[in-house]
Structure 1
């Protein structure tokens, strides 16, 4: 008999808007932090020990924040807003100074993707001004690397993921489009390596496991589509995960490759074993759409948390399957 689904270990309130994006910075930190971006234009930085915000960055003058991340090398904060800006913030010495900004021109909801190629150099990918355009630049120089536009009309770019294969070749980028297509781009060659139709509806979200060369994507339909890359970098569609209710906002894989979490339009977070995509738990707490999910990067895997942000303006924190249980 399966165990009942747990309750959140605690919740965070006071963001003042729907929680579009979450990002942890716990690895090696005395005070583990959670960054949240909300529709009211603010980025809250939560101390997970005190469970209170240590700082609120009014990042995008009231425009919805759709993505946040931090640079591991410097601890600087990156935030993306519906004001068409990506901002870089210096958080050192307790301050909050705007260091630089990048104008994207994109009116969509596609979240940026960051790849830290070295301690001093990073790649940032974002949807551009044209409907199907993806731009990649270097940070901090902001030098353009390339612009990726598919030959076929696929509609708006919806979600992207930059990553670098262990083989040592240049960075690759996965992109989901409005017509349901998934494309794998070679950034160095500016060419499409593979293309499949993963969904009949727009690809709302995707995530990818570079160690296992496996990915999964979600849309407004009642399924998750899983896929893998073969030795020739062709995207091969695999099994689908049928959901009870339609609509997935975001999906994420835990660092150890054991768990997958999905943020549902039905107010629920669903947990699956990443290896076999076996359903493990349905987390019920929120009273509106769950918009974001993220696993923490604690050094001790027994401390790993799952955070879920909702349109109900609350963040729930969960401790699940951290004791070596079979997840499959």
Structure 2
């Protein structure tokens, strides 16, 4: 039986209730803990997690910020329409260092290998372009002509082992491909239920999740020896449409953010829903987990944001270990 839903530990109202498209936690030297919200109006708002108030406003452009990522020293943003910016963190704020322009109209989010400072970005004609953080193009993943894939819809960088760096890519025509980044070759293909909107994979679990426009979340695996993609099972949800799936780092739970505004938490062990969080009034656009404890709550925090302009912060199941 599903648990009674907990309350969020805090609800942040985004500036002017602007819809939130993307979220990222940032833990900087000196104890500065922030949550960055990429917004519909082209701004990134940095909320201080001690006060939960806006500490900094970064105007990136005019278009919605579909995705953002924060490393130890950089902020990377993706605007709708295909413009990517890399900002270096300085003593006074963020300084724009590189711009990548790709004429790509879709909603597919980039992913990155932060150690190698490499970006994987969706491109037209089923391609995925590879750039360095300094903005130089260094490669391209280009599928063969069969089957017709359509545009990339979701990407996930994974390290299957210390020397096996791969990229999962979901495409418009309903295919999931596993790319070997060492050779730029596709090593496995899986036909999914329909156009995948979001994909995540947990290496220790050896299982992944696909969210799409239907009422089914798909679970798949990657073979340890042959690296083959395989469909495992389907999970049916009450209302169709998932914008984001995300596994927690510990591999105990994963989450889906729905068009109905509901955040569903599932057990990786049983694949059953543990709880449904119904705090949001419009579609969830992004969900992320903090990589370390947020000191104010002494807990790892999950953040969710959506079209209602709210950002909810959750301390789920009170794991204080």
TM over 0.5: yes
Q: 1:323 aligns to what?
A: 319
Q: 2:84 aligns to what?
A: 86
Instruction: Indicate if the aligned counterparts of 1:295 and 1:304 stay in contact, CA closer than 8 A.
Output: yes
Query: In structure 2, do the counterparts of structure 1 residues 168 and 146 end up closer, same or farther at CA, with 3 Å as the change threshold?
Result: same
For residue 32 of structure 1, give the secondary structure of its aligned residue in structure 2.
strand
The within-5 A match list for 1:131-146 is: 131-140=125-134, 142-146=136-140
Q: 1:97 aligns to what?
A: 95
For residue 150 of structure 2, give the secondary structure of its aligned residue in structure 1.
coil
For residue 108 of structure 2, give the secondary structure of its aligned residue in structure 1.
coil
Q: Is 1:197 matched up with 2:191?
A: yes
Supply the distance in 2 between the matched residues of 1:167 and 1:99 (Cα, whole angstroms). Answer: 30
Q: Is 1:15 matched up with 2:15?
A: yes
Supply the distance in 1 between the matched residues of 2:227 and 2:244 (Cα, whole angstroms). Answer: 24
For residue 131 of structure 1, give the secondary structure of its aligned residue in structure 2.
coil
TM-score normalised over the length of structure 2: 0.92
Q: Is 1:286 matched up with 2:286?
A: no
Q: After the TM superposition, which of the residue ranges 139-148 and 249-258 deviates more from structure 2?
A: 139-148
Supply the distance in 2 between the matched residues of 1:244 and 1:3 (Cα, whole angstroms). Answer: 17
Query: In structure 2, do the counterparts of structure 1 residues 150 and 39 end up closer, same or farther at CA, with 3 Å as the change threshold?
Result: farther
In structure 1, stretches of 5+ residues that fail to align are: none
CA offsets 1:70-94 (integer angstroms, 9 cap, x no match): 123x2x1000001421101123213
In the TM superposition, residue 167 of structure 1 has moved relative to its aligned partner by 4.3
Supply the distance in 2 between the matched residues of 1:187 and 1:2 (Cα, whole angstroms). Answer: 40
Supply the distance in 2 between the matched residues of 1:164 and 1:266 (Cα, whole angstroms). Answer: 33
Query: In structure 2, do the counterparts of structure 1 residues 268 and 27 end up closer, same or farther at CA, with 3 Å as the change threshold?
Result: farther
In the TM superposition, residue 322 of structure 1 has moved relative to its aligned partner by 3.2
The within-5 A match list for 1:1-328 is: 3-16=3-16, 17-26=18-27, 30-60=31-61, 62-72=62-72, 74=73, 76-117=74-115, 121-128=116-123, 130-140=124-134, 142-152=136-146, 153-169=148-164, 171-199=165-193, 201-230=194-223, 231-299=225-293, 303-323=299-319
Query: In structure 2, do the counterparts of structure 1 residues 26 and 139 end up closer, same or farther at CA, with 3 Å as the change threshold?
Result: closer
Instruction: Indicate if the aligned counterparts of 1:138 and 1:145 stay in contact, CA closer than 8 A.
Output: no
Instruction: Indicate if the aligned counterparts of 1:216 and 1:224 stay in contact, CA closer than 8 A.
Output: yes
Supply the distance in 2 between the matched residues of 1:242 and 1:256 (Cα, whole angstroms). Answer: 24
CA offsets 1:107-153 (integer angstroms, 9 cap, x no match): 11110001123xxx31100011x231111122336241233234221
TM-score normalised over the length of structure 1: 0.91
- Aligned-residue RMSD, C-alpha: 2.0
Instruction: Indicate if the aligned counterparts of 1:304 and 1:322 stay in contact, CA closer than 8 A.
Output: no
Name segments (4+ residues, structure 1) moved above 4 Å: 299-302
For residue 161 of structure 2, give the secondary structure of its aligned residue in structure 1.
coil
Supply the distance in 2 between the matched residues of 1:29 and 1:86 (Cα, whole angstroms). Answer: 28
For residue 164 of structure 1, give the secondary structure of its aligned residue in structure 2.
strand
Q: After the TM superposition, which of the residue ranges 1-10 and 184-193 deviates more from structure 2?
A: 1-10
